[in-house]
Structure 1
């Protein structure tokens, strides 16, 4: 290589094109490393197993690549002189067939041995999750319970326990996935699938539907909160209670609007006349982490925005947009919903 070619190469690497390439590679490496939704940030027994499968398989793929390309490289080098068939045949069979087969079969057997734990029964608590369009219906069934504790768009789990999930879907296929806690499992209409998770590290993680399910698929997420066992038991007891009565003039006007607008035909608020089953249960909606299955937060302004712009925020969602209400009425309704804790 001439000095001019070397200088040109150095200029390319250090110039704008090189900077763009370095930036692209950096983004590619870190784009999936966010702690809230990263399969590499394992916070449970099952996520550790999935991460180990990935890392060991990656190492195996590198070894396989070296073996196969090493064989081809050796053959290419031999082309400059006489080729001895007695040398070529063992190289092709060993490096191209035997070694890859042994490596791949070994990886497959090892990986399959790690998966049964994700189908193991839980330690007592069962959570039934139904994928709707586009939100999550969640029912907690503690051991021995006669009725579930119903909520929506949020999963809370006790740490250091294995919890069994019974999964279903309403109309189309969905996929239940909390990357930091374990692998994904598809959800089918008319059929139940099961997976269990054993979280170890308390914290907030992000779950997501991993199967394209329609217009608002990208906005079908949920918060997954892992709590110490005592905190979880206290939370579940509060969640099972009826809704609190509204406080303040705004919230009381909002409750009246909730009834007059017919919201109770679609939504349930335990302890009131609202018993609808079409949409999410709103009994304690004000205490949740998000609105609209991860679409917004739960500030008062978020409630107002959701009520007034539902269709814009979540295309083709069943809930109508209440843009016929005035700003004051929307604020009253938001105050009532925010107070449901």
Structure 2
């Protein structure tokens, strides 16, 4: 299917480096249309250059009235007819390619698949892994771990305005609308981290609403899932204990959940396993202790308009809080 793929191209967040069957079908159709239009453009440009070169000595001469003959009329009719036939054939080629790609994508919808629920917020992604046992339901944010080679159904909706879920290496985009549920099928056949983005303008921080799809072998994915289903670990040192009390006594507890503690709000991301994520603020910053401290104190200076308010605390309180958050792996 990837007949037109550029060898050696390894870009992330691009449809030119497909890592699953859905993206391969889309890239095939894109490449088919692209190369047909490029070839037609080059032929027209070459014909124009040849004509200009042949007529270059008469460009400054007043043109004479066009005189036609039966022979010239016949050649002109044949040329126009041939151009029409070629145009129709090329259009039908693109049409058939589009039909084949659409049919292949449609067949994916009939597959049994592993379902992941994704909810778009201004401006972050909430991710649920449903489980028949509610206490084992995994809730995370901005990182979607998936098993390689397994059909996936991303069941999505929006909690506020229209968002669009788009991981171009994996599949085409799908709009998420408040009040409506939508499904998109996908599959990732290569290990790695594939960046995605909200592709529908959704407000001031639309450009800073990204996510990562992390594809890993099935056994590794199951280990990650089991680790994420566990509650947070209990504090193991006086500083970490103090940090937990800072979290529970400040505004943090009003917006976030940490399973295994009294914190159970759903306004912001679930932080039960915050330290296991590679980024914070929906991909804006690497998840380092320094970035996390700056985000806690004044997220508005990093991502203006987000719902994370400034938090006023002493330096000692911040250090204790960070020590606690670092244990949430």
Q: Give the TM-score of the pair, scaled to structure 2.
A: 0.85
User: What is the CA RMSD across the aligned residues, in angstroms?
Assistant: 2.5
Deviates more, 1:85-94 or 1:165-174: 85-94
- 1:118-157 aligned at under 5 Å gives the runs 118-119=105-106, 120-121=108-109, 123-141=112-130, 148-157=137-146
Larger CA deviation: 72-81 vs 107-116: 72-81
Establish whether residue 204 from structure 1 lines up as the match of residue 193 from structure 2: yes
Q: 1:205 to 1:231 in 2, by over 3 A?
A: same
Partner of 2:262: 273
- C-alpha separation in 1, matches of 2:295 and 2:221: 29
The corresponding residue for 2:58 is: none
Instruction: Tell me, yes or no, if the aligned pair for 1:123 and 1:161 is still in contact at 8 Å.
Output: no
CA gap of 1:106–1:277, structure 2 versus 1, over 3 A, is: same
Whether the 8 Å CA contact 1:303–1:338 is kept in 2: the answer is no
Q: CA deviation at 1:46?
A: 1.6
For 2:160 and 2:114, the matched residues in 1 are separated by 26
| Distance (Å, rounded) in 2 between the aligned partners of 1:127 and 1:312 | 33
The alignment status of 1:44 with 2:32, answered yes or no, reads no
Residue 241 of structure 1 is matched in structure 2 by 230
1:209 shift after superposition? 1.0
Instruction: Provide the secondary structure at the position in 2 that maps to 1:130.
Output: strand
Contact 1:46 1:183 in 2 (8 A): yes
Residue 75 of structure 1 and its aligned partner are, at CA, apart by 8.0
> For residue 226 of structure 1, what is the aligned residue in structure 2?
215
Deviations 1:288-318, CA, capped at 9 Å, x for gaps? 1111110111121121111112011111001
Q: Which residue of 2 aligns with 1:165?
A: 154
Which of 74, 85, 88 is the equivalent residue of 2:76?
88
Hey, which of these two has a bigger chunk of helix by percent?
1
Q: Distance in 1 between matches of 2:11 and 2:235?
A: 37
Cα deviation, 1:130-178, whole Å, max 9, x if unaligned, reads 1100000111125x56573211111111001110001111221111111
Conserved? CA contact 1:125–1:140, under 8 Å: no
For residues 104 and 222 of structure 2, what CA distance do their matches in structure 1 show?
Answer: 24
Residue 39 of structure 2: aligned partner:
63
**Aligned mates of 2:139, 2:105 — CA distance in 1:** 24
Distance 2:79 2:42 in 1: 13
Aligned in 2, Cα 1:337/1:116: closer, same or farther, shift over 3 Å?
A: farther
Q: Distance in 2 between matches of 1:234 and 1:185?
A: 29
For residues 73 and 313 of structure 1, the distance between their equivalents in structure 2, rounded to whole angstroms, comes to 53
Partners of 2:168 and 2:89 lie apart in 1 by 30
The answer to whether the 8 A contact 1:118-1:197 is kept is no
Task: Tell me by how many angstroms 1:277 deviates.
Answer: 0.8
Q: Any conservation in 1 of the 2:25–2:105 contact (CA below 8 Å)? A: no
Q: Does 1:264 align with 2:240?
A: no
Normalised to the residue count of structure 1, the TM-score between the two structures is: 0.82
1:26 aligned residue: none
Equivalent residues of 1:223, 1:289 under 8 A apart = no
Shift of 1:190: 1.1
Gaps of 5+ in 1: 1-32
C-alpha displacement at 1:128, in angstroms? 0.9
Shift of 1:65: 2.4
- The equivalences for 1:306-317 within 5 A come to 306-317=295-306
